[in-house]
Amino acid sequence: MLNNKKIVVVLPAYNAAKTLQATYWELPHDIVDEVVVVDDKSNDQTVRVAREIGIKHIIEHSRNLGYGANQKTCYQTALALGGDIVVMLHPDYQYTPKLCHSMVALLAFGVFDCVLGSRIIGKGALQGGMPLYKYLANRWLTAIQNILLNHKLSEYHTGYRAFTREVLESLPLENNSDDFIFDNQMLAQIIFAGFRIGEISCPTHYDEDSSSIALWPSVRYGVGVLLTSVSFRLSRWGLWRSSIFSGISRRRFM
């Protein structure tokens, strides 16, 4: 715990057998109360490794449901475990688990409602091996989203995020996609609701075991990002309400 807040780390896993152990060992277990692994029907030994290193909460999908569906299970489980703060971290060791302390502290002491580990602040992304085309696509999409969402983030595409319980309970996450665009839809919902988002610089490590989206899914993701941003703007103007923004209270919006 930190400031009497229960901390749950969720690891949405798919073929993470080679990197799960390193990710788990570097978590700050002095403050983390529970660790949850949700395996989306991996083709490797992810579940076996999770058991061997002593993770208690392991959920196995009976079939591959998609990255977004994996996160839905993660958050439902974390809330059921009584988590006050939930950290979502990709178990591919691309992001350093050592930042959990800083991210959680910003939530536990009420500074922000959501904290992102940004690969773009500073020069960590390219130095850490992010392919140039991914970096450029990230910057281009982020620039467009900052305009359409009337916000200012360094990136919307990180796989390292922390949320308060209030955020997770306030959003209609079940209305979001089961695919990769889930992450982006969730951030748009957080901004729509007016929650406070903070960012900290996160060193990045890309290697052959880091997760990556293939070309066609990447194109589909990019289109989904643009559609999410346009639907946000139309919903904000009251011209059309997307289902992902339905039921979100704007009383916190400033």
The dihedral built from the CA positions of residue 180, 213, 26 and 65, taken in this order, carries a sign that is positive
What is the phi-psi region of residue 41: left when phi exceeds 0, alpha when psi lies from -120 to 50, beta otherwise?
left
Q: Which of 218, 207, 209, 159 is nearest to 15 (CA)?
A: 209
Q: Which of 100, 49, 39, 42 is nearest to 73 (CA)?
A: 39
- Chain centroid to Cα 91, Å, comes to 12
pLDDT tens digits, one per residue of 98-127: 999 999 999 999 999 999 999 888 776 667
Q: What are phi and psi of 95, to 5 degrees?
A: -110, 140
Cα separations in angstroms, 29 against 7, 17, 46, 80, 222: 10, 20, 21, 20, 36
Q: How many CB atoms lie within 10 A of CB 78?
A: 27
pTM of structure: 0.92
* Residues facing residue 160 across a β-bridge: 89
pLDDT tens digits, one per residue of 151-210: 999 999 999 999 999 999 999 999 999 999 999 999 999 999 999 999 999 988 766 655
Average model confidence (pLDDT) across the chain: 92
Q: Which of 59, 15, 16 is nearest to 34 (CA)?
A: 59
Return the CATH superfamily for domain 7-245.
Answer: Spore Coat Polysaccharide Biosynthesis Protein SpsA; Chain A (3.90.550.10)
What are the residue boundaries of the structural domains of the chain, listed by start? 7-245
